[in-house]
Amino acid sequence: MHGDKAEPGGVCLLDRLSFVAIFAGAVRGGRIRLLGVAPRSSELMAALVKRGGSDDFCSGGPFFSNLMEQGLLVSLACSIDGNCPPRKRSRVIAPLVLGVGERVADKKHQPRSIDTLPDECLFEILRRLPGDKERSNSACVSKRWLILLSSIRSSELAAQMKPSVKSMKKTLPDRNNLVPANENETENNGFLTRRLVAEEATDIRLASIALGTCSRGGLGKLFIQGGDSTRVSDAGLSAIAHACPSLRVLSMCMTPLVTDAGIAEIADGCPLLEKLDLCQCPQISDKGLITVAQKCPNLMSLTIEASSSISNKALQVVGRFCTKLKYVTIKDCPEVGDQGIASLVSSPSYSLEKIKLQALNISDLALAVIGQYGKNLTDLSLTSLKNVGEKGFWVMGNTCGLQKLRSITVNHCNGLTEVGLQAIAKGSPLLKQVFVRKSCDLSDAGLVSFTEKARALENLHIEECHQLTLMGVLGALLTCNPELKSLSLMRCLGIKDIDFAPAQLPSCKSLESLTIRNCPGVTSASLQVVGKICPRLQKVDFGGQAGVTDASLIPLIQSSEVGIVEVNLSGCVNVSDALVTMLVKAHGSTLRMLNLDGCKKITDRSIMAIAQSCLVLNDLDLSCCTIGDYGVAILASARQLNLRMLSLASCSKITQKSLPFLVNMGQSIVGLNLQHCHLISTDAINLLEERLWLCDIIF
């Protein structure tokens, strides 16, 4: 090809290309008409035959002496009409326009691919790809193509633009090629879920997810768990927004590079968004949240945590525009106060069902608004609200607006007293679950008065309330709802054994679950009473109670009218094989979970009783027990057992001889803990992992 160099005639390649472009523009239907006169075919053929040269461009002077004459030909193009046979021409490379100081590269190193096109041209080409699969495949070509494809909005795709007038004309269907519409098309309904953790969270990964999920049902849920080195930025969210209009759930944690611009892209491209979680996103402020509120009317769940840039202004807009909002969680946001919470709760729709507030600068006013306007509220959680006093809880309960409240959690709120707790019970007739933690002013009288008024109470959890005593707990059981099903007492130092027997003992025939954990004052004498007053217990948790002995639990085992299902005796160092043997013989047909972590008196004898009597046991924790290889062999030989979780951590007598028996349990086991089993080598664990490839082994 001769077009790369100037020729003697003074004609460069650019001149010839100009002539070819002018001549091609004059062609209409293969006929040329000059000056309005159609020449005879013989004259035209003679003129073409007399033209010298080959198929390539030949040397010679320009066709016209100046550019004005070239314009004359263009102006007469519409009058040209003649036959022009197709001719093969050589490949032409457009000249490279150089800047000042740049040199022409060597001919061998000049790029000759589509990548020489600017981004604008590639964008126009890629947006005309026919379907999602083609776009997904094209994204694998290079990072540049991936970024360009991810920048194309759904509305910019040529395949989704409005059809032309010609394509809208009705034609008769071809009955020979009838194919269901949904057979060739993939609806983007948002069925897929993607999670990115730590180093996996990058903009390139997000762009790949955006394009890869389009042809596979569409992205519906995206969870990003980042860190200090997370490289997710606005560019990654922009790719998701452009390609995933079906996104309904977005959760981001520790993404320091994401700003209001990225959230605004999500709001523009994902109008179906229903759940938004923003945890430790320091650069997202009121501006970004306001954009989401205005453009995502379907928002139902909002979580904001550890954000100093979110204030009352944004929450006021959320309360005004998000009329379907049902779940709100706001934690550690110092700029959020009474006005923001009041705007959310007092929205005209009254749609809020669950509210969780933690470490906020709110006062009694916010609780009063919650009590007045929380008409549909079913779940309320208040944690570390230092500025809320007794008056706030009292007003919230006495406004009688919490008629549908079923669960309340009050954690480390010094303003909660027995007066406020009674008001809550009075104003919430459907209250079933109460969780109170770190309430310094809760006394025996307050607890008894509360249980008298909470007639629908089914689950009571009390933790770190040190003024409560055992007499208060027994009094509450006497006056509580006869349908109480669960009672939990954790780390209550004031609950201790009493030297005298109370005049009247409660009868808790409905109690199914009892938890007494880390209450050092509760010993064997108090636990013996439990078996007498709670004959229908199914779940027992005495974890951390060093005072539990065999004698204290024998009445509980013997008096049970229904089968015990779950037993947690972790840390009960005085429990022996005799108690375990009695337990599994009496309740082996119903026992599903048994935790003996730290019970050093448990030996292979207990394992033998478990293997013989337990029929439905699927979770067994023998950590720190005196178990050897013989006990493991006995467990493996019990064919009726289908253990799914087994913990042998810190069992110093377990050796590599137990591994073949563990392999025999591989049909059912999915979790195995062998931590601190020092007589088992790493190579043996690797071999065990190959054999139990469906089991999660911790070593």
Q: What is the 3-state secondary structure (H, E, C) of 362-420?
A: CCHHHHHHHHHHCCCCCEEEEECCCCCCHHHHHHHHHCCCCCCCCEEEEECCCCCCHHH
| Rounded-to-integer distance, Cα 596 and Cα 614, Å | 15
Q: Which pLDDT belongs to residue 189? A: 65
Kindly tell me the burial class for residue 179, based on how many C-beta atoms sit within 10 Å of its own C-beta (0-12, 13-18, 19 or more).
exposed
3-state secondary structure of 311: coil
3-state secondary structure of 379: strand
Question: Which residue, among 513, 457, 528, 516, has the nearest Cα to 492 in the 3D structure?
Answer: 516
Which amino acid, one-letter code, is at 638?
A
Q: Which pLDDT belongs to residue 644? A: 94
Residues of the chain with pLDDT under 70: 1-113, 158-190, 215, 499-503
Mean pLDDT of the chain: 81
| CB distance 474 to 447 below 8 Å | no
Question: Which residue, among 445, 394, 398, 446, has the nearest Cα to 415 in the 3D structure?
Answer: 394
For the beta carbon of residue 568, count every other beta carbon within 10 angstroms: 20
Q: Which pLDDT belongs to residue 569? A: 95
3-state secondary structure of 158: helix
Radius of gyration of the chain (CA): 39
| Rounded-to-integer distance, Cα 401 and Cα 377, Å | 9
The token duo for 66 is 């100046």
| Rounded-to-integer distance, Cα 1 and Cα 161, Å | 42
The token duo for 636 is 């493996």
Q: Which pLDDT belongs to residue 160? A: 54
- The residue assigned the tokens 């790493």 is 682
Q: Which pLDDT belongs to residue 416? A: 93
Q: Which pLDDT belongs to residue 26? A: 40
| Rounded-to-integer distance, Cα 200 and Cα 196, Å | 5
Q: Which pLDDT belongs to residue 505? A: 75
Kindly tell me the burial class for residue 693, based on how many C-beta atoms sit within 10 Å of its own C-beta (0-12, 13-18, 19 or more).
exposed
Distance of CA 583 to the CA centre of its chain: 42
The token duo for 285 is 């402020």
| CB distance 287 to 281 below 8 Å | no
Which amino acid, one-letter code, is at 58?
C
Cβ contacts of 632 within 8 Å, gap of 6 or more: 607, 648, 654, 658, 661, 662
| Rounded-to-integer distance, Cα 493 and Cα 229, Å | 43
Half-sphere exposure (Cβ direction) of 195: Cα atoms closer than 13 Å = 2
Task: Report if pTM > 0.85.
Answer: no
Q: Which pLDDT belongs to residue 109? A: 56
Q: Which pLDDT belongs to residue 108? A: 53
Q: Which pLDDT belongs to residue 187? A: 46
| Rounded-to-integer distance, Cα 234 and Cα 100, Å | 36
